[in-house]
Amino acid sequence: MSSPNDASAVVIGILALQGAFAEHEAALRRLPLKRQIYPIQVRTVEDLNKCAALIIPGGESTTIALLAKLSNLLEPLRQFVKTKPVWGTCAGAILLSQSVESTTAKKGGQELLGGLSIKISRNGWGSQVESFEAELQVTGLRNSQQPFNGIFIRAPVVLTLSPLPNDPSIEVVARLSPRLLPHNISGPVKDDDPQTIVALRQGLHFLTTFHPELTADDRFHEYFVKECVLPQVTVP
């Protein structure tokens, strides 16, 4: 493994305030890429400044936001999101959203980083006991004919896509069958409804409402590095 001081190493941070950050780090270390990737855990502004890209893990979005604020990381993270590749999984997806529903129980609402032109619902799939797994057909992954096992744990649900005319276009990477949508979503849902989206990309930013880091399948990590990160990195 290279070090962050190697000129050729691409430093990818994992926000390590709360949640499944260690699993993301392990997945990045497993990637068999020609370009050297060096994952680091980010807890300070100094850590963040070393990074070419960032992963915000699953966990509890309001807790992550509060700890980021207490660590003086909230505003630096918002600035980072404006210019660097960022991937949010589950709670991280919530933090990257433009607006969030179901935050009335949280005093003061939900601090967000922005970056994705979407509205999302916290815990849209229900409680912990309603967590589930589903096979996803994903175009763009290596061996795309092989389904990806999506693990959904108190996962958020994408409600609307709302890009402005000058925003990057939104690319849907993976959807879930409407028959698997949460019981609390009312009315008929079509295959192309935003609520079926479980992975999307907009410009430099990537979102998954499930937890790829909890599987031994590293293809989503490979996708993020190859498609979002490396094209933005200048070869020394």
Binding-site residues for L-glutamine: 59-61, 122, 153-154
The first and second tokens of residue 124, run together, are: 């849209």
Torsion sign (Cα): 95, 99, 100, 104: positive
DSSP assignment letter at 168:
P
Which stretches of the chain are assigned E, i.e. beta strand? 10-15, 37-42, 53-56, 86-89, 97-101, 116-121, 132-136, 148-152, 157-161, 170-175, 197-202, 205-208
User: CA angle 220-174-15, nearest 5°?
Assistant: 40
- Going by the annotation, the residues of the binding site are 59-61, 122, 153-154
Distances (CA, A) of 123 to 79, 133, 137, 142: 27, 15, 23, 30
Calculate helix-pair angle for 61-70, 74-83, nearest 10 degrees: 110
Radius of gyration of the chain (CA): 17
- Catalytic positions are 90, 211, 213
